[in-house]
Amino acid sequence: MTAFAKNQWYVAAYGREIGRELLGRTFLDEPIAFYRAESDDQVIALADRCVHRRYPLTAGRLDGDTVVCGYHGFTYDTGGTCVFVPGQKRVPRTARVRSYPVVERDSLVWVWIGDPALADPGAVPRAPWLADPRWTTVGGMEPIDADYGLLVDNLLDLSHETYLHGGYIGTPEVAETPITTEVDEGAGVVRVSRHMDDAECPPFYARSTGIEGRITRWQDIEYHAPCLYLLHSRIAPVGVGPEPDGSDPNAFHVEITYAITPSTDRQVYDFWAVSRDFAQDDEEVSTFLHDLNRTVVLQDVAALNVLQKALDTEREGYQELSINIDTGGLAARRILARLAAEGEKTAPVVASP
Amino acid sequence: MSTPTAEVYRIDWLPGTDVLHGVCHCGAERTAEDPVELWQWMLAHPSGHHPAVPSEDQPTGHREEPRS
């Protein structure tokens, strides 16, 4: 399996998903309960296990800013400290659950998995279009029953669009066009670019932009390991490029954002969003892009579920074959391995209660 | 944010060929048809990227590595 990288920020949810009802999700094998505090609307993230008998807090209820365990009433404040136990006045000193650092930015809720002392909110990678009124965004999340590394492989090599997503976003030119790969080792960023000068326009872009005929299609991937994947997509009629001053008024721009958040060694949360700088108020375009991209995501879900099942039957040390299209994916795998090793080195020793 | 650094490795798939062309941040270059091999060479920096004693037929930063 792909090792988990601790001491990293991960997308936990869209901000709109977290409110005054408890939301439970598991990240890197750690079950976490989320809610918004009544007093200041801040997102709170606590370990989703009562310190008493490990009952999930998400099976309990909120009372103001506190969470009340649904089994025996142990009550926790926003920092995870137990402030009430039933039948006695003294709350044991060790009665607390872990609280997780959280940042809400660009409409996403990020959670820090690792040593809280190392959490730097400034290190959260950005996807500003998600919360920019000049862009219109549709999105969702689908869990996949697979090692998160399979989703990283999938997204770093878009040649699969031609075969798995043909008739939706894939055309022959995607698989045929050579890529350029750049790795910024220090920043932990992989960039993969594929610029198609004269390509068929797939339905995803034909129906949303209204372009008839062939297109110039640029795909510029920026993967901020381990979680955030950005695909800067530029679509224009063939031969139409940016202006000499760098502006690009005659092209359509779509920012496709994915967050790849490992849940367990056999599940990954696939957050996806499609942001556009055209037809911003057109509900029909929004519905079309949402439904078509969700269909594409579900094609990936089905494929990776099948692939994981097949890999589970393989003997240890099975062979793979990598070719030119895998140049970006191979780079991402190596960066993930390095981040995982670094996270292990600094991982805190957590005493079992 | 992931602040850009100077440690950038680049691999171009040369159009019209099956050849990959790698450029290390130190300036060393190499071509290959196997991305695994090319990354191994690239990420072994500085090993094999700057020969200790440059020679006429082996310019600095361009030493060929044996294929594994």
Any idea which residue has 């760098």 for tokens?
Answer: A246
Has residue B51 been placed in a domain? no
Cβ separation A324–B39 shorter than 8 A? no
- Average pLDDT rounded to a whole number, residues B31-35: 96
Q: Is A119 within 8 Å of A130 (Cβ atoms)?
A: no
Has residue B56 been placed in a domain? no
Q: How far apart are CA A210 and CA A127, in angstroms?
A: 26
Which chain B residue shows the shortest CA-CA distance from A9?
B1
For residue A178, list chain B residues with Cβ-Cβ distance below 8 A.
12-15
For residue B1, list chain A residues with Cβ-Cβ distance below 8 A.
122-126
Residue B68, pLDDT score? 34
Q: 3-class DSSP state for residue B43?
A: helix
Residue B52, pLDDT above cutoff 70: no
Q: Is A123 on the interface with B (CB under 8 A)?
A: yes
For residue A190, list chain B residues with Cβ-Cβ distance below 8 A.
none
The tens-digit pLDDT sequence of chain A (353 residues) is: 899 999 999 999 999 999 999 999 999 999 999 999 999 999 999 999 999 999 999 999 999 999 999 999 999 999 999 999 999 999 999 999 999 999 999 999 999 999 999 999 999 999 999 999 999 999 999 999 999 999 999 999 999 999 999 999 999 999 999 999 999 999 999 999 999 999 999 999 999 999 989 999 999 999 999 999 999 999 999 999 999 999 999 999 999 999 999 999 999 999 999 999 999 999 999 999 999 999 999 999 999 999 999 999 999 889 999 999 999 999 999 999 999 999 998 655 554 44
More confident residue, A198 or B66: A198
Residue B54, pLDDT above cutoff 50: no
Has residue B62 been placed in a domain? no
Residue A251, pLDDT score? 97
Q: How far apart are CA A251 and CA A247, in angstroms?
A: 10
Has residue B61 been placed in a domain? no
Q: Is B20 on the interface with A (CB under 8 A)?
A: yes
Phi/psi class of residue A54: alpha, beta or left (left: φ > 0; alpha: ψ in -120 to 50)?
A: left
Structural domain harbouring B33: 10-43
β partners of residue A36: A43
In which band, very low, low, confident or very high, does the pLDDT at B59 lie, cut at 50, 70 and 90? very low
Partner-chain residue, chosen from B8, B34, B36, that has the shortest CB–CB distance to A183: B8
Has residue B34 been placed in a domain? yes
Has residue B29 been placed in a domain? yes
CA separation (Å) from A240 to A180, A204, A206, A304?
A: 21, 19, 16, 37
Q: How far apart are CA B11 and CA A181, in angstroms?
A: 5
CB pairs under 8 A between A and B: 70
The number of distinct structural domains making up chain B is 1
Residue A218, pLDDT score? 97
Residue A292, pLDDT score? 97
DSSP H or E stretch at residue B35: helix B35-43
Q: Is B25 within 8 Å of A182 (Cβ atoms)?
A: no
Domains and CATH numbers, chain A: 8-123 (2.102.10.10), 130-341 (3.90.380.10)
Q: 3-class DSSP state for residue B27?
A: coil
A108/chain B closest Cα distance in angstroms: 15
CA separation (Å) from B39 to A26, A171, A224?
A: 34, 29, 19
Is the Cα dihedral A89, A95, A97, A101 positive or negative?
positive
Q: Which two tokens stand for residue A148?
A: 């998160």
Any idea which residue has 């003997």 for tokens?
Answer: A315
Has residue B2 been placed in a domain? no
Residue B50, pLDDT score? 67
Residue B56, pLDDT above cutoff 70: no
Has residue B16 been placed in a domain? yes
Residue B3, pLDDT score? 77
Q: How far apart are CA A7 and CA A3, in angstroms?
A: 13
Q: Which two tokens stand for residue A226?
A: 């381990």
Cβ separation A186–B1 shorter than 8 A? no
CA A312 to chain CA mean position, Å = 24
